[in-house]
Amino acid sequence: MNEALGNITAIAKRELVSYFSSPVAYVFLVIFLLMNGFFTFMAGGFFERGDASLIAFFIWHPWLYLFLVPAAGMRLWSEERRLGTMELLLTMPIAPWQAIAGKFVASWLFLGLALLLTFPVWITVNYLGSPDNGVIICGYFGSFLMAGAYLAITCMTSAMTRNQVIAFIVSVVICLFLILSGWPPVTQLLESLDMPTIRDLAASFSVMTHFDGFQKGVVAFRSLVYFGTVIGFCLFTTGVILRTHRAG
């Protein structure tokens, strides 16, 4: 167990160093923070709401992550395949699942850092009012889980191809489906067509449905299971894809 943890940590450190060894990580962080600021204060009507909460901040995250998370994770395995280092990595004395876990954890921590750097928004709402910080922490936790789900999907698509652009596009399409299946206009359309069963089924697959509870300060067990299942399934599929490449 200690050896496996050590291998995962080593891979995670290697991946984190690779992020910050180029300007790409810093450019991503700046874009992430600027877009969060724009959508919160301009598009989200933070001041116009007159409400001491971060609803205007969190409500845009499913859409922001739709492009930013695939952009951050599309290189995870595509780059390894393009450079021919994936075979070297998988022939090292580590299990494939350890390499997958290490790279995923590193990227998830990077996204967590980006999310953590939005703390000025939290400071602002506390300065202007008296928000329920428990609800805000819950919202941050849900946002972190959602970023992990998007990232796991990107990890899976990145393992499919050595072309980062293709990995990015496929990830965006899959994540968009997970958004739209629970988007109010879609669920209202299904309800108007008198298909409540299909509506409920589609909504249960949506990140919007499960993230909504976190925004309200509710940590539902089914939402934790949902995000955990998406992450687990996608990482398992990544392992299957990598073993297929390795066998070939």
What's the confidence (pLDDT) of residue 133?
Answer: 92
**What tokens does 82 get?**
């393009």
CB 111 within 8 A of CB 151: yes
**Distance of alpha carbon 81 from its chain centroid, rounded?**
22
What's the confidence (pLDDT) of residue 67?
Answer: 92
> How many domains are there within the chain?
1
What's the confidence (pLDDT) of residue 204?
Answer: 82
**Distance of alpha carbon 234 from its chain centroid, rounded?**
12
- Total-model pTM: 0.90
CA 219 – CA 140 distance, rounded (Å): 12
**Distance of alpha carbon 113 from its chain centroid, rounded?**
12
Q: Which domain holds residue 186?
A: 2-247
CB 184 within 8 A of CB 155: no
Which pLDDT tens digits describe the chain residue by residue (248 residues)?
A: 677 888 888 888 988 888 888 888 899 999 999 999 898 888 777 777 777 788 889 999 999 999 999 998 888 877 777 666 666 666 666 777 888 899 999 999 999 999 999 999 999 999 888 889 999 999 999 999 999 999 999 999 998 888 888 999 999 999 999 988 877 777 777 677 767 777 777 778 889 889 999 999 899 999 999 999 999 999 999 988 887 766 55
| Tokens 């290697």 found at | 14
What's the confidence (pLDDT) of residue 247?
Answer: 53
